Structure 1
Amino acid sequence: MKNTFLPAALFCLGLLGSPALLHAQTAAAPTASPVSKATMAQQLDDYVRQYEKAGLFQGTVLVADQGKVVLEKGYGLANREKNIANAADTKFRIGSLTKQFTAAMVLQLVDKGQLKLDGKVTDYLPNYPKPAGDQITLHHLLSHTAGLPDYTAQPKFVTEVMRTPQEPTQLVALFSALPLEFAPGTKFSYSNSGYVLLGAIIEKVMGKPYAQVFQENIARPLKLKDTAYDTVEPADQRRAAGYVPTANGLVKTPPIAMTVPYAAGAITSTAQDLYRWSQALDGTKVLSAASKKLLFTPVKDGYAYGWTAFTAKMGPDTVAVQEHNGGINGFASYLVRVPKSQQVIVLLDNHSSKALADLRRGLLRVLYQQAPVAPVLPAAPASPAAAPVALDAATLNTYVGVYELAPTFRITVRQREGKIFVQATGQKEFETEAASPVLFTLKGVPAQVEFAKNAKGEVAQLILHQGGHDQPAAKVE
């Protein structure tokens, strides 16, 4: 077995964001008496305030239950230099939430007979290099099963590409000549390149820019007045600025040319518009019933077309959940849907938060009248020690448990003879070496695991550090 540790099922958060699946706590809570809308709103607000106070969230939250908005509120500042507060109608870059719009646009053209899901890339872009162009279908692109290398992960992306305006043909050229990472359809691997290709195909078939097709086919018919392709949106005082944390506090994020994320991540929106979008998906105004079913039907590793879809245990209930997240230059986002109970959670952040997965998990638990887990406080950066750190058994035992990164991928932590061992789903067990009281290096794998505590001092999270990415996993057992 290859000693990679990171499986294909594990989604690494990159420039444009990637899906992180919802974990539902395994311990079922007894069914509670219904609470009033006002009480529910206060409970939800109190929970978000914990994240704001801990420095883990600033942005806008919208939560709906049974088709009614329960909480709709801004937290923190949209623009720190101008002292403008976040509000319910503040505009944010939504990163990879863009993909669900691109997927819907493709399926609309499928409904009209202008595209075919089994159509090959070369059917629409004849000059795309072969043999890959003859092997990859639109289905593969939509479901991240094409095997395309991610153009945002290429060596010169940050230094030469990210801040330079690009045409779709230039973006495609960044990866089209590279070898496929696997045979199309055989594996899942999240790649922004697939959605860039979909954007280029939409433009070729429609004979119009992606931004225009989006406005004509999605935004205008659904009255999403505050949702647009970033480069064509006018200046607006309601637009949030993106920030990144530094040793000296939050600073404005370095710029990015928004033609670079393109159909994979260049849309801006508001919590209100994203809720309208979610409501529109409940009917057939956007897509036919058959295409809507495809939009939410998982292909591999829980990923459908621009959405992840799975079932989660919430107390005595098992519910179907549909969601996606995004992250781009100072912004992070989440859109979560529970169609059965008409629940929607929209989280839009403008300070590079890595805590949105935990926040949306807690908000769902509040909706189901279960006690939410307290925010996990960020740990101080740990530097690997020159020599291994010796820890007592009592400390090590606090780390023992099961941590979930996705419904189908867990990391089990064990303690034997004063050492920590970790084992990921479907992989062998790895011994670790303590680099600090909370940071452990895996032997034989270029990766580390770090343990984080919540406000009560309980170990509540494992963070996997690998390949330049930090992937949090909630403790579930």
Structure 2
Amino acid sequence: MDSDSVRGIGRRRLVKWSGLTAAGLVAAGVPSMSAATGHAAAPPTGPSENDRIPPDTLPGGAYDRYVAKLAAEGKFSGAILLSHRGRTVLSRSYGMADEEKGIRNQEGTAFTLSSAGKPFFAVAMLQLAQRGKLRLTDTVGAHLTGFADDIADRVNIHHLLSGTSGLDAPDDDVQRVFQSRDEVHEYYERRARQAKLVGVPGTPNTAHAEPEVTISALIVEAVAGMTYWDYVQENIFKRCGMTGSGFFTRPQWLTDEHIAHPYMKVADGSVVDALRNLDKGSPNLHVLGKNPGRAFIDAPGDGGFATAPDLARFAHGLGDGTVLDRPWADVLTSAKIPHGPASFGAYGIPISIVDGQWMYQRAGGNPGVGANWSIYPDTGWVGVILINRDSDGGSLVDVMGQEMKAVTGADPDPDPGSGG
């Protein structure tokens, strides 16, 4: 399964920076857009702070120059996007989607999301709750059979969604090369049924354990009567107009020119196409031996592929009623578990208070893979970062910090700590 919240670069660095200095939004000029209609909103009588466009977010601004410099130095391959109130302010793509075929990354390139796709399972669960098909207090045993009694009777959907189930699973077989969707589904379902209750349900944790993600997906399948992959495609991607997104298989990944290959650093220091080198794995201790290309399709509840504009569409869809009615969207993003002075766990989405405003975000990583989307709901900003190449310098965390600084004016904490 995908590495959770990019362990190799520090989970908490991906979700919080505390002790931030204040800086106001300055400069303006781009008209806001109605998230619900896509039409230009009527001009306000006077520009509010939230309608102003910080100069660092604009083409040629500090964030644009920062990523361009990384790309020129060979330290960034992928795509970035900034959107304000439904309107794209900055969109850039760099590097190669498929070096062997000479295909470059572009705005319509889909990238594998790793753990940045995990919030889809939380949205799916809340859609079913909104329709009265399940309740957040339902236990695992209310919808699934074959689990140990302590899990079936004590772990409920709220625990699964908030990362407080107390579950753990056996070590993953990172060397296995999967050959079919059925094989992937059977493997992760079996691992979920082998999960052990090692903590007290309801006790705060720092990240979602693999069984929480898989069991959530299995409940979605049991209630909806279709595979998790098909459910998300129909009820999230299709609703949001995410036409370039999906749960693609390895054969599609290899042949579709619109899907970026992951370029993974190996033991001798070289960088290889992970898809075309399934015998090789990462030497990084945090993801030792892993190769994302070995998965025939992402595990139920995890991953997926998306373009940068599609992730912006998803982010806007969370706020305009497209995927969840507003009260249920608030349930998704409201603070559930404290992780730090200004960071909290929501349902599948870490949230933080940054320079006096909320930031919702989710990151993920694997060898040759980095992905993050951030939502700044108070000011209408969305940021997307997608990476498909390991490099020395220009880590996902660094780029995220520069994005946040451009949007909020706040400097990243130089020592944000580790964990959740």
> What TM-score do you get using the length of structure 1 for normalisation?
0.69
Contact 2:159 2:201 in 1 (8 A): yes
Change (3 A) 1:244 1:225: same
CA–CA separation in structure 2 for the residues paired with 1:402 and 1:342: 26
Matched, 1:251 2:272: yes
Kindly indicate whether structure 1 or structure 2 has the higher relative contact order, using CA contacts under 8 Å at least 6 residues apart: 2
Correspondence list, 1:82-161, <5 A: 82-150=101-169, 154=171, 157-160=173-176
Instruction: Using the TM superposition, give the Cα deviation of residue 225 of structure 1 relative to its aligned residue in structure 2, in angstroms.
Output: 0.8
Match of 1:50 among 44, 55, 69: 69
Correspondence list, 1:394-413, <5 A: 403-405=415-417
CA–CA separation in structure 2 for the residues paired with 1:357 and 1:90: 22
Change (3 A) 1:175 1:204: closer
Correspondence list, 1:223-302, <5 A: 223-231=241-249, 234=252, 235-246=255-266, 247-253=268-274, 254=278, 255-259=293-297, 261-265=299-303, 267-300=304-337, 301=339, 302=344
Instruction: Using the TM superposition, give the Cα deviation of residue 338 of structure 1 relative to its aligned residue in structure 2, in angstroms.
Output: 0.3
Correspondence list, 1:327-346, <5 A: 327-346=365-384
Deviations 1:423-451 (A, max 9, x none): xxxxxxxxxxxxxxxxxxxxxxxxxxxxx
Computing the radius of gyration from Cα coordinates, the structure with the larger value is 1
CA–CA separation in structure 2 for the residues paired with 1:167 and 1:137: 25
Partner of residue 355, structure 1: 395
Q: Which amino acid aligns with 2:359?
A: V
Change (3 A) 1:21 1:134: same
CA–CA separation in structure 2 for the residues paired with 1:180 and 1:336: 32
CA–CA separation in structure 2 for the residues paired with 1:106 and 1:219: 15
Partner of residue 217, structure 2: 199
Q: Which amino acid aligns with 1:365?
A: K
Instruction: Using the TM superposition, give the Cα deviation of residue 233 of structure 1 relative to its aligned residue in structure 2, in angstroms.
Output: 8.8
Structure 2 unmatched ranges of 5 or more: 31-52, 279-292
Deviations 1:190-249 (A, max 9, x none): 212211111111111122111221122112222211111123995421111101124443
Contact 2:150 2:197 in 1 (8 A): no
Instruction: Using the TM superposition, give the Cα deviation of residue 59 of structure 1 relative to its aligned residue in structure 2, in angstroms.
Output: 0.1
Correspondence list, 1:411-426, <5 A: none
Match of 1:22 among 13, 16, 20: 16
Change (3 A) 1:168 1:298: farther
Instruction: Using the TM superposition, give the Cα deviation of residue 121 of structure 1 relative to its aligned residue in structure 2, in angstroms.
Output: 0.5
Q: Which amino acid aligns with 2:352?
A: F
Point out the structure with the larger strand share. Answer: 1
CA root-mean-square deviation: 2.8
Q: Which amino acid aligns with 1:332?
A: G
Q: Which amino acid aligns with 1:281?
A: L
Contact 1:60 1:74 in 2 (8 A): yes
Contact 1:256 1:329 in 2 (8 A): no
Partner of residue 50, structure 2: none
Instruction: Using the TM superposition, give the Cα deviation of residue 183 of structure 1 relative to its aligned residue in structure 2, in angstroms.
Output: 0.9
- Percent identical pairs in the alignment equals 24
Q: Which amino acid aligns with 1:242?
A: P
Point out the structure with the larger helix share. Answer: 2
CA–CA separation in structure 1 for the residues paired with 2:110 and 2:198: 36
Instruction: Using the TM superposition, give the Cα deviation of residue 320 of structure 1 relative to its aligned residue in structure 2, in angstroms.
Output: 0.6
Q: Which amino acid aligns with 2:386?
A: L
Partner of residue 449, structure 1: none
Q: Which amino acid aligns with 2:381?
A: Q
Q: Which amino acid aligns with 1:285?
A: T
Deviations 1:122-154 (A, max 9, x none): 111022221112111111111111112155xx0
Change (3 A) 1:359 1:326: same
Matched, 1:63 2:100: no
Contact 2:136 2:158 in 1 (8 A): yes
Partner of residue 184, structure 1: 201
Contact 1:296 1:305 in 2 (8 A): yes
CA–CA separation in structure 1 for the residues paired with 2:308 and 2:226: 28
Deviations 1:362-408 (A, max 9, x none): 122123456x78xxxxxxxxxxxxxxxxxxxxxxxxxxx971136xx
Q: How many residues matched?
A: 359
Q: Which amino acid aligns with 1:225?
A: T
Contact 1:114 1:205 in 2 (8 A): yes
Indicate the SS of the match to 1:188.
Answer: coil
Instruction: Using the TM superposition, give the Cα deviation of residue 26 of structure 1 relative to its aligned residue in structure 2, in angstroms.
Output: 3.1
Q: Which amino acid aligns with 1:174?
A: R
Match of 1:13 among 6, 12, 20: 6
Indicate the SS of the match to 1:277.
Answer: helix
CA–CA separation in structure 2 for the residues paired with 1:75 and 1:91: 13
Indicate the SS of the match to 1:194.
Answer: helix
CA–CA separation in structure 2 for the residues paired with 1:346 and 1:81: 26
Match of 2:363 among 310, 325, 331: 325
CA–CA separation in structure 2 for the residues paired with 1:133 and 1:288: 29
Contact 2:16 2:416 in 1 (8 A): no
Q: Which runs of 4+ in 1 moved over 6 A?
A: none
CA–CA separation in structure 2 for the residues paired with 1:56 and 1:149: 36
CA–CA separation in structure 2 for the residues paired with 1:308 and 1:360: 14
> What TM-score do you get using the length of structure 2 for normalisation?
0.78
